[in-house]
Chains A and B, each alone.
Chain A
Amino acid sequence: MMRIELVKRPQRSALFSVLSPFIAFALTMIAGAVMFALLGVNPLDAFNIYFIQPVSEVWQLHELAIKAAPLILIAVGLSVCYKANIWNIGAEGQFIFGAIFGSIIPVLFPQFEGPLVIPLMLLLGMVGGAFYASIPAFLKTRFSTNEILTSLMLVYVAQLFLDWLVRGPWRDPQGHGFPQTIQFSDSAVLPELMPDAGRANWGFVFALVAAVAIWLMMSRMLKGFEVRVLGSSPRAGRFAGFGLNRMVFFTFLLSGALAGLAGISEVSGAIGQLQPVISPGYGFTAIIVAFLGRLNPLGIVAAGLVLALTYLGGEAVQSALGISDKVARVFQGMLLFFVLGCDTLIHYRIRLIGMALMKPNAAKLDAAPKLEEAR
């Protein structure tokens, strides 16, 4: 039996601030090795297949960028929310609504072509995501309804709504009954960056631009300061004249619009049509990306690439070793756990107190902390 005791540091540790994501990653690797060993696979082989092989050729790096783009776009928006202590966890739903709104043009007006199509689709996608995010924001500001639960419930609603659309009114009449819309026309498909080298599309550029823009906003602009003040001390923010309700709307609309942009970019760039399922949980994985990136937009770019790799690795071990690709979800969950745990090191020193040390006083276990207090 062991007891953990936290001792507050005089100030936050700059060292662990930098190190903690790396420690977390190392711990995830160790836990992952144990997991692979339990599954009866040599951990080194598994790691090679999971983390090295999926990124050993140029076209595979393009696949990585495709997976990383939505993660980064969504996570950058969420990081602003979480900095402001506002909990939007329904990005998955906003992603879906962005995809639906953006698809209005290629699905309902397929004859409309030209260079204007893509910008309009992207704009509609952002509007769709922001619209869907405005619901929990409105409920929170108007009725002080908990935004965690409402934004999450709306994810299920969005998934069912998309399911209805592609099986009902938007189904491709020539699609042999498959639940999907028509293939987008060429002018509605997000162009690839380097068609000769791989499939990566402009979505990845949007992600990088968004990350830099949000980084500038958070570090150089008054709005970013406002976010940080309201997040760490709402009272101080009120005295400074920053409105909490305005902030709720601002963060929700911003993160919703970015999630919506991610949604339409994914559908237009990577899939090419609407299907019942368009996301392997990007909206939820992005929460992990945001925290792994320390809620810093530039850190999020790196974290997004790491998490994108867990998706590719999951597919790789499934085809090579016959392990369920759910292993990716497990890696992602463990990573978030370890990141959160390691972040404690920034503010606290951790002391492990073994019960064995206290054995002599077994009758008075409580004496031990008091002794330390005296010291």
Chain B
Amino acid sequence: MDITVNILLTIATAATPLLIAAIGELVVERSGVLNLGVEGMMIMGAVGGFGAGYLTGSPWIGLLAAIIVGALFSLLFAVMTLSLATNQVATGLSLTLLGLGLSGMIGTSFVGQPGVRLPNLDIPGISSIPVVGKLIFGQDPVFYISIALTAAVMWFLFRTRTGLTLRSIGDSHTSAHALGIKVIRYRYLAVIFGGACAGLAGGHLSLVYTPQWVENMSAGRGWIALALVVFASWRPWRVLAGAYIFGAVWIGQLHAQAFGIPVPSQFLSSLPYLATIVVLVLISRNKRLTMMNTPASLGQPFVPDR
């Protein structure tokens, strides 16, 4: 029983950063912007979070710093693609490349340093109840944030007027502009929200998942988060499901390696990436589903004519 609970807990820990980053990117893409810089923003959040936590000794300040660093870094993308109307694919790629380089340079002095870890929730009496106590009341704080964030984004996108406006911009920025909606302003806020989420996801990696700084520690999670958004056909609850499936694959291959299954560890390590490809193929085979849900102006630059 304990083993099952522990595996479920590690799956949740592996799924949380994927979920947060994907939920952020979902909002960005719903506004019609494709930000391929998730990996870069995530790794910047990870190094910023680790650094702030290490220097101040407080993991909470670290987490806050991760969010701020992610948001600031995404602002760079926003200025380029929204104000200067650059190609979103190329700009997003360069954000990732810059993030990987910059984080490596900033993090040189953090390598091998002991980090600080966010403590798990611990409610006296309740968190010690077997199974349920640990699973529902004993996880790390970011886990609860991720669930709350998913619910909030679901409510925001489909139950509020602002959310409707955001989705309409994603489907046709020209029409939205003609209606007097401030397309660029909405998109700025969406991109910054996505950056903050990616930063938070990175902070989770360096403050909860493995509380230390390792170069390239995001290991493609930002790209998997991007794939999750496609997989979920831009619906928050499907992102939640997808993130947990991928968390399970990630943990599954780690356990398989630990058990000494006679398959080379490299093959097991490549499973999450192969799973991403398989899932993308399965979902994109259904052309109607993809066509119906893809925000119609996704990735198109928009320059308001005056």
Bound CA span A199–B79, Å? 43
Does A235 sit at the interface, judged by CB under 8 A?
no
* Residues on the A chain within 8 Å of B89, using CB: 87, 148
Stretch of A117-125, A151-159, A209-217 at the chain-chain interface: A151-159
Question: CB-CB contacts of A155-199 with B at 8 A, as 1s and 0s?
Answer: 011001101100110000000000000000000000000000000
Does B290 sit at the interface, judged by CB under 8 A?
yes
Q: How many residues of B are in contact with the other chain, CB < 8 A?
A: 47
B147 to chain A, nearest CB (A): 26
Bound CA span A368–B42, Å? 38
Does A350 sit at the interface, judged by CB under 8 A?
yes
B97 lies within 8 A of A333 (CB): yes
Question: CB-CB contacts of A207-237 with B at 8 A, as 1s and 0s?
Answer: 0000000000000000000000000000000
* Residues on the A chain within 8 Å of B104, using CB: 324, 326, 329
Q: Chain A: which residue is nearest B105 at the CB level?
A: A326
A160 lies within 8 A of B94 (CB): no
A168 lies within 8 A of B270 (CB): no
A149 lies within 8 A of B223 (CB): yes
Bound CA span A284–B196, Å? 25
**Docked complex: A261-319 residues within 8 A CB-CB of B:** 284-285, 287-288, 291
Bound CA span A333–B306, Å? 33
Bound CA span A363–B290, Å? 44
* Residues on the B chain within 8 Å of A337, using CB: 76, 80, 91, 94, 98
Does B83 sit at the interface, judged by CB under 8 A?
yes
A372 lies within 8 A of B223 (CB): no
Bound CA span A284–B95, Å? 12
* Residues on the A chain within 8 Å of B90, using CB: 82, 287, 291, 336, 340
A164 lies within 8 A of B280 (CB): no
Pick the residue among A150, A161, A341, A373 that contacts B280 (CB under 8 A): A150
Q: Which of A143, A168, A285 has the most CB of B within 10 A?
A: A143
Does B264 sit at the interface, judged by CB under 8 A?
yes
Does A332 sit at the interface, judged by CB under 8 A?
yes
Does B161 sit at the interface, judged by CB under 8 A?
no
Bound CA span A52–B79, Å? 33
Does B55 sit at the interface, judged by CB under 8 A?
no
Contact A143 B98, CB 8 Å, known A149-B226, A161-B266: no
* Residues on the A chain within 8 Å of B98, using CB: 329-330, 333-334, 336-337
A77 to chain B, nearest CB (A): 16
Stretch of B169-177, B200-208, B271-279 at the chain-chain interface: B271-279
Question: CB-CB contacts of A241-254 with B at 8 A, as 1s and 0s?
Answer: 00000000000000
Bound CA span A288–B267, Å? 31
Q: Chain B: which residue is nearest A290 at the CB level?
A: B90
**Docked complex: B62-110 residues within 8 A CB-CB of A:** 76, 79-80, 83-87, 89-91, 93-94, 97-102, 104-105, 108
Q: Chain A: which residue is nearest B109 at the CB level?
A: A324
Does A146 sit at the interface, judged by CB under 8 A?
yes
Bound CA span A35–B253, Å? 41
B267 lies within 8 A of A146 (CB): no
Contact A153 B277, CB 8 Å, known A148-B36, A329-B101: yes
B46 to chain A, nearest CB (A): 15
Does A74 sit at the interface, judged by CB under 8 A?
no
Contact A341 B101, CB 8 Å, known A139-B277, A139-B281, A149-B230: no
Contact A149 B227, CB 8 Å, known A164-B264, A340-B90: yes
Which residues in A have some Cβ–Cβ distance to B below 8 Å? Answer: 4-6, 8, 82, 87, 89, 139, 143-146, 148-150, 152-154, 156-157, 160-161, 163-164, 167-168, 284-285, 287-288, 291, 323-324, 326-330, 332-334, 336-337, 340-341, 343-344, 348, 350, 369, 372-373
Q: List 17 A-B contacts (CB under 8 A).
A: A5-B306, A89-B93, A139-B281, A149-B227, A153-B274, A157-B270, A160-B266, A160-B269, A163-B266, A288-B97, A324-B108, A326-B104, A332-B101, A333-B101, A341-B86, A348-B85, A348-B303
Q: Across chains A and B, which 3 residue pairs bring their CB atoms closest together, nearest first?
A: A329-B101, A333-B98, A326-B104
